[in-house]
Amino acid sequence: MIDQNVDEAIDTDGVSIEESHTEGNYNYQNVLHQNNNNSNSNSVLSISELTSSSSNPKIRDPTTPLDFDKPEALDDFQIFQDIFPSFASGGDLPPFLNDFNTSPANDGNTENKDVSKLSYFEENMMLKHFFKRLLPLLDAHPSTPWPQLALKYCDFEVAKSCFISLACIHLYETKGAKEFYRTGMNHINNTMEYLIDYLRDKSLGSIGDDGLDVDQIIKNLKQQPLEKQRSNFFVILLLIHVHLLFSVLESGRSALVRTFFQLFSGIVKDSTFKTYLENIEESATLIITLSWFDTITAVVSPDCRVPFCDDTWYGDKNSSISTFQVMGCPGEIFKCIARLCELRKGLKEKHLNKKQAHEIFVKVKNELLRYREFVLFANDTDENEITLRMKCSQCWSIAVLLNFYLLVHPEEKEIVNGLLLEFISIYGSMESTSTHVTQMVWPVFTMSCACQTNYQKRHFRKFIDVLYTNAKMGTIHTIGVIAEECWATGKSWEEILSSKEWLKSGIDFLVV
Domain membership flag for residue 270: yes
Domain membership flag for residue 247: yes
Lowest-confidence region among 73-82, 130-139, 240-249, 496-505: 73-82
Lowest-confidence region among 50-54, 93-97, 193-197, 199-203: 50-54
Classify residue 219 by burial, with Cβ atoms within 10 Å: 0-12, 13-18, 19+.
middle
Domain carrying residue 182? 118-204+211-279
pLDDT band (50, 70, 90) for residue 222: confident
Q: Find out whether 273 and 229 touch, Cβ atoms under 8 Å.
A: yes
Which run of H or E residues covers position 508? strand 508-509
pLDDT band (50, 70, 90) for residue 475: very high
Domain membership flag for residue 132: yes
pLDDT band (50, 70, 90) for residue 16: low
Domain membership flag for residue 72: no
pLDDT tens profile 122-152: 888 999 999 999 999 999 988 889 999 899 8
Domain membership flag for residue 259: yes
Rounded distance between C-alpha atoms, residue 393 and residue 372, angstroms: 7
Domain membership flag for residue 156: yes
Q: What is the DSSP letter of 371?
A: G
If you average pLDDT over residues 362-369, what whole number do you get? 98
- The phi, psi pair for 213, rounded to 5°, reads -90, 90
Domain membership flag for residue 168: yes
Lowest-confidence region among 214-223, 403-412, 500-509: 214-223
Tell me the range of 43-57, 70-84, 369-383, 466-480 where mean pLDDT is highest.
Answer: 466-480
Measured CA to CA in angstroms, residue 366 lies from 309, 371, 405 at distances of 24, 10, 13
pLDDT tens profile 157-167: 899 999 999 99
Residues 6+ apart with CB under 8 A from 167: 126, 127, 129, 130, 134, 184
Q: Find out whether 436 and 388 touch, Cβ atoms under 8 Å.
A: yes
Question: 3-state DSSP helix/strand/coil percent for the chain, to nearest 5?
Answer: 65, 0, 35
Lowest-confidence region among 57-61, 276-280, 437-441: 57-61
Domain membership flag for residue 96: no
Complete DSSP assignment for 407-472: HH-TT-HHHHHHHHHHHHHHHHTSBTT-HHHHT-HHHHHHHHHT--SHHHHHHHHHHHHHHHHHH-
Secondary structure string (H, E, C) spanning 105-173: CCCCCCCCCCCCCCCHHHHHHHHHHHHHHHHHHHCCCCCCCHHHHHHHHCCHHHHHHHHHHHHHHHHHH
Structural domain total, the chain: 1
